[in-house]
Amino acid sequence: MRIAGRDVQISNPAKVFFPQAGYTKGDLVDYYLAVAEGAVRAVYRRPMALKRFVQGAEG
């Protein structure tokens, strides 16, 4: 995948992240690419926190 002029490899894009909806890691990447410009604009210069869900979204 080429993003912003760089080659980026997405490991296991078919991995299901949201089983009930059937969304995969690849779907999530596509969504992030679609909303990235607006999302970055909205959070520019704002504090953030990251919470990891290592067992997946459903726990």
Q: Is the pTM of this model over 0.85?
A: no
Distance CA 43, CA 57 (A): 23
- Domain ranges across the chain: 2-43
The predicted-structure confidence for 13-55, as pLDDT tens digits, reads as follows 999 999 999 999 999 999 999 999 999 999 999 988 888 888 8
H or E stretch at 3 = strand 2-3
> According to the 3-state scheme, what is the secondary structure of 21-40?
CCEEHHHHHHHHHHHHHHHH
- Which pLDDT value is given to residue 1? 84
Count of CA atoms in the C-beta half-sphere (13 A) of 5? 0
Count of CA atoms in the C-beta half-sphere (13 A) of 37? 3
- pLDDT > 80? residue 2: yes
Predicted confidence band of residue 59 (pLDDT cuts 50, 70, 90): low
